[in-house]
Amino acid sequence: MLSFLAFITWDTDPILAHIGPLTLRWYGLLFMSGFVFGTFILSHIYKSERTSPRWVDVITIYMLVGTILGARLGHVLFYDPAYYLTSEHFWEIFKIWEGGLASHGATLGILLACWLFARNNKFDYLWVLDRIVIVVALGGCMIRLGNLMNSEIVGEPTSKPWGFVFVRDADHFVPVTRPLPPGAVQVAAQPVTRVDGSETYRMLPKGTPVAPDSPMAVPRHPTQIYEAAFCIFLLVLLYGMWNRTKDRTPRGLLFGLFVVLLFTQRFLGEFLKENQEVFEDKLPLNMGQILSLPLILVGLWVLLRAGKDPKNPYGYAPRDLSEEEANGTKTIKV
């Protein structure tokens, strides 16, 4: 009945276009689109609570810097410190365009960025977090779609009819077997050995004939799509909750719920993923799961205390718009 879904061969070029000396990648476009569309949502939220949308431009700068720096440093420190923290490779830390961003590092960077914004502009920290997680959910969806376009962060092999065959993901090719398993695709590639001794494959130039002993790409869980869909669910859930209560949203409720749900999904979803680094194969849980556990505990702690401070149950922010400005009904005198 689902034969029309008998595996999806994913061979999308991660490069969208070449513009002179510049290379436009799908990942970068989707990454930035999360910020662009997020500003419209956050402006609406701020305006609805009589907080000037001009603050959105300010916090977006904080968020952009915090996300990129946090994600990059998270990858360096959590996944490959032995490589980057050497005199030979140290300067590669700054080559963000070559890849290597960690979502847990981005989370820490966002938390720090929001704290600095709140402190410097007299906002309540949890008030800021309760609103920002709505657009972070959108950003998370866009980033995972960017991972899909890059054919990275793939899942374990699957026989499900919606499995994706990632023919550009050389790190997860497997030796060919006969007959070819259902959905498997042979790829022109040759084995290579990394500096750390692990084995991978190198793609051969386009048009190279596929040899009989060439490796194959097998159907895998499209975990990027699973996570993107969950982020959309969080966006709808959190926005719906905020829209019912707005400036009377219990302080910490949305942030706590977001952290608990997102990182619980991340913890469970990792069971469907291939490990990103070789050292994770020796751990009882992979690094993504290990880093998710303390964040889940923090989220639970915030959630259990949400709105229970009698002196500050809803948080606070500058209410620098009149009701007429917030509703768009203020008349302009000429």
Phi, psi of 219 (to 5 degrees): -60, 135
Question: Which CA distances in Å does 325 have to 49, 181, 263, 330?
Answer: 11, 63, 38, 5
Q: Which residues are CB-contacts of 194 (< 8 A; sequence separation ≥ 6)?
A: 200
- Model confidence over 301-331: pLDDT tens digits? 999 999 999 999 999 999 987 776 677 655 4
Q: Which residues contact 181 (CB under 8 A, 6 or more apart)?
A: 216, 218
Q: Where are the domains of the chain?
A: 3-155+221-308, 165-220
**Strand 164-166 versus strand 216-217 pairing type:** unpaired
What does the pLDDT read at residue 34? Answer: 96
What does the pLDDT average to over 14-43?
93
Examine the pLDDT at 279 and tell me if it is beyond 70. yes
Read off the pLDDT of residues 152-177 as tens digits, 9 standing for 90 and up.
999 999 999 999 999 999 999 999 99
From CA 296, how far away is CA 78, in angstroms rounded?
A: 18
89, two tokens: 């490779």
Q: What is the pTM of this model?
A: 0.91
d(CA 99, CA 260): 27
Highest mean pLDDT among 2-16, 189-203, 220-234: 220-234
Q: Give the model's confidence band at 4: pLDDT under 50 very low, under 70 low, under 90 confident, else very high.
A: low
- As a whole number of angstroms, the distance between CA 203 and CA 183 comes to 20
User: Residue 286 above 60 pLDDT?
Assistant: yes
Q: Of 247, 231, 222, which is closest to residue 50 (Cα–Cα)? A: 247
Q: Please choose, from the candidates 249, 311, 279, 215, the residue with its C-alpha nearest in 3D space to the C-alpha of residue 48.
A: 249
Both tokens of 132, joined, read: 């920002």
Residue percentage of the chain with pLDDT more than 90: 75
**Residue 77 DSSP label:** I
Contact 280, 287 (CB under 8 A): yes
Average pLDDT of the segment spanning 19-30: 90
pLDDT tens for each residue of 65-108: 999 999 999 888 888 887 788 877 788 888 777 777 888 999 99
d(CA 168, CA 279): 23
| Residue 91, pLDDT score | 82
Confidence of residue 332 (pLDDT cuts 50, 70, 90): very low
Q: Which residue has the tokens 């969208």?
A: 16
Residue 233's φ and ψ, nearest 5 degrees, are -60, -45
Q: Is the pLDDT of residue 276 over 50?
A: yes
- Residue 10: closest CA among 143, 211, 148, 199: 148
Query: What is residue 333's predicted lDDT score, i.e. its pLDDT?
Result: 45
Burial (CB count within 10 angstroms: exposed 0-12, middle 13-18, buried 19+), residue 147: buried
Tokens standing for 91?
Answer: 């300067």
Quick one: tokens of 111? 């938390």
Give me the sign of the Cα torsion angle 9, 157, 279, 216.
negative
pLDDT of residue 251: 98
The CA distances from residue 121 to 117, 142, 311, 317, in Å, are 6, 29, 20, 9
210 HSE (CA, 13 A, CB side): 10
For the cut 50, the answer to whether the pLDDT of residue 1 exceeds it is no
For residue 59, the model assigns a pLDDT of: 97
How many residues would you count in the chain? 334
* Whole-number average pLDDT of the chain: 91
